[in-house]
């Protein structure tokens, strides 16, 4: 088969797992991505299966805990598909979800496009293109039964373990003067002690993570578009969840967001 046919077959293989709620051990060698660029190309083909415009982007493994959780040593980008976005306060099923964790995250909505650029975008250039900051919860999952051993390239093709995403409402609080690295969102769950996160767990600062994502996309020739949301990775150890659980992420003046599980 041609290179394009192989990429299409690889994307179709993963999409079939996603739609059926099934897991695989490994991608067949004949359709497995050979490198990072092929993996992102398969991911782009997954996006084409969505019936709606792309909602945004996620960054996986921006913390040491997140990297350990999926067995990688650096961040990777994935797409947030519109049909996988839940309303704030929604209840969702954990059937078929092997990861069964929730991640408390800072998310940014973009005010304008950031197109591919020959030189890396600076953090100031990226922040100048941001419209708002939001509290968020990601509920990741993988199409691989043994996601810790799947490896970086297969996990990128697998949309960086994207699954479901909950975006909270922006409070409109002036966040640009806040020290996001020192910021401590709190995760609250009935019957459990509160857990405090830290913005510095996200590549040192959520703004650094956002800048990484912009430049990762730029290097791939992809535009981060106005209106798209970027969620920057968990700011505390991924929280184990089970049916019957509910979680609220309290970002103080930056707002709250919640989701429950059945």
pLDDT, residue 68, reads: 83
Q: Check pLDDT > 80 for residue 61.
A: yes
Q: Does 87 have pLDDT greater than 80?
A: yes
Q: Quick one: pLDDT at residue 114? A: 98
Residue 71: what pLDDT? 85
Residue 232 has pLDDT above 90, yes or no: yes
CA distance between the termini of the chain:
43
pLDDT for 219: 96
**What is the pLDDT of the chain when averaged over all its residues?**
95
Question: CB–CB of 198/188 below 8 Å?
Answer: no
* 163 band by pLDDT with thresholds 50, 70 and 90: very high
Please give the Cα distance from 83 to 103 (Å, whole number).
Answer: 19
Q: How far is Cα 58 from Cα 165, in angstroms, rounded to an integer?
A: 9
- Measure the CA–CA gap between 17 and 147, rounded to whole angstroms: 14
In sequence order, which ranges of the chain are alpha helices (DSSP H)? 3-20, 36-48, 64-70, 123-128, 152-157, 206-219
Pairwise CA distance, residues 123 & 128, whole Å: 8
Structural domain spans, the chain:
53-261
Share of the chain above pLDDT 90, in %: 90
**Topology of the domain covering 53-261:** Fumarylacetoacetate hydrolase; domain 2 (3.90.850)
> β-strand 130-139 against 101-110: which pairing, if any?
antiparallel
Is the confidence at residue 88, as pLDDT, over 80?
yes
**Could you give phi then psi for residue 168, rounded to 5 degrees?**
-85, 165
Q: Say what the pLDDT of residue 23 is.
A: 94
Work out whether strand 101-110 and strand 229-234 pair parallel, antiparallel, or are unpaired. antiparallel
What mean pLDDT do residues 119-124 have?
A: 98
Percent residues over pLDDT 70 in the chain: 100
Q: Are strands 91-92 and 85-86 parallel, antiparallel or unpaired?
A: unpaired
Question: Model confidence over 238-258: pLDDT tens digits?
Answer: 999 999 999 999 999 999 999
How would residue 27 be classed by pLDDT, with cut points 50, 70 and 90?
A: very high
Strand partners, 248: 188, 258
- The C-alpha atoms of residue 31 and residue 5 are separated, in whole angstroms, by 9
What is the spatial distance between Cα 231 and Cα 77, in angstroms, rounded to a whole number? 10
Q: Is the pLDDT of residue 92 over 80?
A: yes
pLDDT exceeds cutoff 90 at 64: no
Predicted pLDDT at 51: 94
For residue 129, count other CB atoms closer than 10 A to its CB.
Answer: 17
- What does pTM read for this prediction? 0.95
CA-to-CA distance for 212 and 207, rounded, in angstroms?
9
Q: Given pLDDT bands bounded at 50, 70 and 90, which one contains residue 65? A: confident
User: What's the pLDDT score for residue 2?
Assistant: 82
């Amino acid at each position: 088969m041609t290179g394009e046919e192989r990429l299409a077959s690889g994307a179709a293989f993963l999409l079939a797992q996603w739609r059926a709620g099934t897991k695989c051990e490994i991608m067949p060698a004949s359709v497995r991505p050979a490198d990072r660029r092929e993996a992102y190309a398969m991911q782009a083909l997954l996006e084409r299966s969505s019936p709606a415009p792309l909602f945004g982007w996620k960054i996986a493994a921006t913390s040491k805990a997140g990297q350990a959780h999926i067995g990688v040593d650096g961040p990777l980008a994935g797409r947030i598909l519109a049909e996988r976005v839940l309303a704030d306060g929604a209840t969702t099923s954990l059937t078929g979800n092997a990861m069964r964790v929730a991640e408390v995250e800072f998310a940014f909505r973009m005010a304008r496009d950031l197109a591919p650029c020959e030189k890396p975008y600076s953090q100031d250039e990226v922040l100048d293109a941001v419209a708002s900051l939001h509290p968020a919860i990601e509920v990741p999952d993988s199409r691989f039964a043994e996601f810790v051993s799947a490896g970086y390239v297969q996990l990128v093709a697998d949309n960086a373990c994207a699954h479901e995403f909950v975006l909270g409402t922006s409070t409109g609080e002036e966040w640009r003067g806040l020290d996001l690295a020192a910021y401590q969102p709190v995760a609250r769950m009935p019957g459990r002690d509160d857990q405090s996160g830290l913005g510095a767990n996200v590549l040192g600062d959520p703004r650094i993570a956002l800048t990484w994502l912009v430049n990762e996309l730029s290097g791939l020739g992809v535009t981060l578009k106005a209106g798209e949301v970027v969620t920057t990775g968990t700011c505390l150890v991924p929280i184990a969840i089970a049916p019957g659980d509910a979680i609220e992420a309290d970002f103080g003046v930056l707002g709250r967001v919640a989701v429950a599980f059945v």
